Amino acid sequence: MTHFRKRLPKDVVIPFNEKVIGLAKNESSPDEDPPPDGGGVPSSDMSSSSEEPNSGTILMDATCAPADIKYPTDLNLVNDDRELTEEVIDKLREQCSDANPRPRTKREICRKRYLEIIKHSKCGMSKRRGALRFLLNAIRRNLEYIAGLREQ
């Protein structure tokens, strides 16, 4: 609409806007009789919908998105999973009766490799694939440790 409003003079745009607003008000007036088919909403649905209160919020603009949602890149997801498996290993070790030494999960090395790639905006695909392979191997190793600790 703004594209047309810029090109049309004010004496054309103002009556047009008033007519659109008037039509919108007439369509939503409560005086009108309901359609003969009942408006397409069965009476059983109307009673259940009036009992439930509204909950949540709705985003009306498609360009809006909550800021707390992280964009899921492969490395971010794999690193989050690696950290979760390490937490599971720590919790399982606490529950074991005998004090086994902590498994070699290479936490510091994995974190360092992850940060090397993430901090560079333009990183080569081969380096990114290598870091992803390294982190996936760390997850595989952690899952093997978890399976061994579960048996104990």
* Surface-to-core class of residue 125, CB atoms within 10 Å of its CB (0-12 exposed, 13-18 middle, 19+ buried): exposed
Q: Any idea where the domains of the chain sit in the sequence? A: 1-31, 74-151
Q: Is the pLDDT of residue 75 over 60?
A: yes
Per-residue pLDDT tens digits for 96-148: 877 677 888 889 999 999 999 988 878 888 988 999 999 999 999 999 999 98
Quote the pLDDT of residue 82.
93
* Surface-to-core class of residue 24, CB atoms within 10 Å of its CB (0-12 exposed, 13-18 middle, 19+ buried): exposed
CA angle 60, 69, 124 (to 5 degrees): 125
What the block records as the tokens of 46 is: 């109307």
Q: Which amino acid is at 50?
A: S
Per-residue pLDDT tens digits for 26-43: 776 555 555 555 555 555
